[in-house]
């Protein structure tokens, strides 16, 4: 069962990213002009999107970096920092392959390539894509929330030095570990609040704790309109913001991967947002909680490199403790 949940988390996350990329940073009116309305499935990116050069079913740099981290575990059976840095450098230098990567990862990779030590190479930035690779750590440490937090924070700290970012990454890894490991009972409000409280106990920075407190307040308000939730939690690229919104949408629709992810994809609001990162996080949690069977088969079939991703997941599964 755990293996099926891990498959669900991986495909759920990458699909969320690929769908969310269609409308990243687009406001509601632009989405209407570009697609006629809300995103309900895969389609060709609009010329108005930030990724008009991508094709239907292709994903962004968030998934690319996450898959690099997953490959490290699949090859080594543990997180080898040197191998991860090598993969990042190779990825950054291959301009034909990477998808508008964040400046933080580019700067860190090039600094390592120039021979700088980690203290000099790491970047002080707090964009959520710096936390995304921690999902791989959460899957590897699926059976222990504290170990997942610690390893998720470590993975992100290889490229980032910002305390809030590293803490967000640890919390994200722990959330994934809890969802996949069956340590979440989400049928009641009390269960959802307990899930968030467990994450808050692990968080170390005031910023991250503050956003988790906001998340608790939003959950207690009941099913608010999504625009109201966005006003309260935010939907931008600031790591605690995107992470909290992604967790919220997972908790709001715990029994439906499709509904949770499409809500995340369409969380652009009046001014646009980091929809691909939010949907990646929601997809990882929902797919991991509900298992691969909950992820629509037609979406898996449409996803680019789905066979290669499946091979990487199978190799990864050979290395985990089950």
Q: What is the pLDDT of residues 103-116, one digit of tens each?
A: 788 889 889 999 99
| Dihedral, CA of residue 31, residue 239, residue 19 and residue 230, to nearest 10 | -40
Residue 197 has pLDDT above 80, yes or no: yes
Q: What is the pLDDT of residues 262-288, one digit of tens each?
A: 999 999 999 999 999 999 999 999 999
Mean pLDDT, residues 188-200 taken together? 98
Residue 321 has pLDDT above 90, yes or no: no
pLDDT at 99: 72
pLDDT at 98: 72
User: 248-251: long-range contacts (C-beta < 8 A, 24 or more apart)?
Assistant: 248/215, 248/218, 248/219, 249/278, 249/282, 250/179, 250/281, 250/282, 250/285, 250/286, 250/289, 251/186, 251/192, 251/195, 251/196, 251/219
| % of the chain surpassing 70 pLDDT | 99
Residue 76 has pLDDT above 90, yes or no: yes
Mean pLDDT, residues 121-145 taken together? 97
Looking at domain 2-317, its CATH architecture is: Orthogonal Bundle (1.10)
Residue bearing the bigger pLDDT, 110 or 153: 153
Residue 94 has pLDDT above 90, yes or no: no
pTM score of the predicted model? 0.97
Residues with Cβ < 8 Å from 95, sequence gap 6 or more?
none
pLDDT band for position 96 (cuts 50, 70, 90)? confident
Q: Which of 276, 23, 9 lies closest to 129 in space, CA to CA? A: 276
Which CA distances in Å does 224 have to 148, 241, 248, 271?
Answer: 31, 17, 11, 18
**Could you tell me if 166 and 155 are in contact, meaning their C-beta atoms sit under 8 angstroms apart?**
no
pLDDT band for position 51 (cuts 50, 70, 90)? confident
Distance CA 158, CA 160 (A): 6
End-to-end CA distance of the chain: 10
Mean pLDDT, residues 40-50 taken together? 95
pLDDT band for position 30 (cuts 50, 70, 90)? very high
Helices assigned H by DSSP within 61-123? 61-76, 81-93, 103-113, 118-121
| % of the chain surpassing 90 pLDDT | 91
pLDDT at 123: 94
pLDDT band for position 100 (cuts 50, 70, 90)? low
DSSP percent split of the chain into helix, strand, coil, nearest 5: 65, 0, 35
């Amino acid at each position: 069962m755990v293996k099926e949940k891990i498959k669900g988390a991986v495909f759920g996350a990458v699909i969320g990213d690929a769908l969310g990329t269609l409308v990243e940073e687009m406001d509601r009116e632009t989405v209407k002009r570009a697609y006629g309305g809300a995103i309900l499935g895969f389609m060709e990116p609009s010329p108005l999107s930030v990724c008009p050069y991508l094709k239907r079913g292709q994903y962004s740099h968030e998934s690319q970096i996450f898959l690099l981290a997953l490959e490290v575990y699949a090859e080594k059976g543990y997180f080898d920092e040197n191998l991860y840095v090598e993969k990042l450098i190779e990825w950054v230098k291959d301009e034909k392959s990477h998808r508008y990567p964040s400046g933080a990862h580019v700067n860190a990779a090039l600094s390592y390539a120039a021979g700088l030590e980690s203290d000099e190479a790491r970047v002080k930035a707090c964009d959520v894509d710096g936390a995304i690779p921690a999902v791989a750590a959460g899957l590897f440490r699926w059976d222990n929330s504290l170990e997942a937090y610690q390893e998720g924070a470590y993975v992100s700290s290889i490229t980032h030095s910002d305390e809030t970012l590293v803490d967000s990454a640890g919390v994200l890894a722990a959330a994934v570990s809890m969802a996949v490991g069956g340590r979440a009972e989400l049928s009641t409000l009390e269960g959802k609040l307990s899930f968030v409280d467990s994450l808050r106990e692990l968080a170390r920075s005031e910023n991250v704790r503050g956003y988790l407190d906001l998340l608790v307040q939003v959950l207690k308000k009941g099913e608010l309109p999504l625009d109201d939730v966005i006003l309260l939690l935010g939907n931008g690229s600031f790591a605690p913001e995107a992470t909290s919104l992604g967790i919220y949408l997972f908790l709001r629709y715990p029994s439906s991967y499709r509904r949770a992810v499409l809500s995340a994809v369409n969380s652009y609001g009046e001014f646009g947002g980091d929809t691909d990162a939010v949907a990646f996080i929601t997809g990882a949690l929902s797919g991991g909680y509900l298992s691969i069977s909950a992820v629509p088969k037609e979406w898996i079939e449409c996803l680019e490199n789905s066979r290669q991703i499946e091979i990487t997941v199978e190799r990864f599964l050979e290395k985990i403790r089950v």
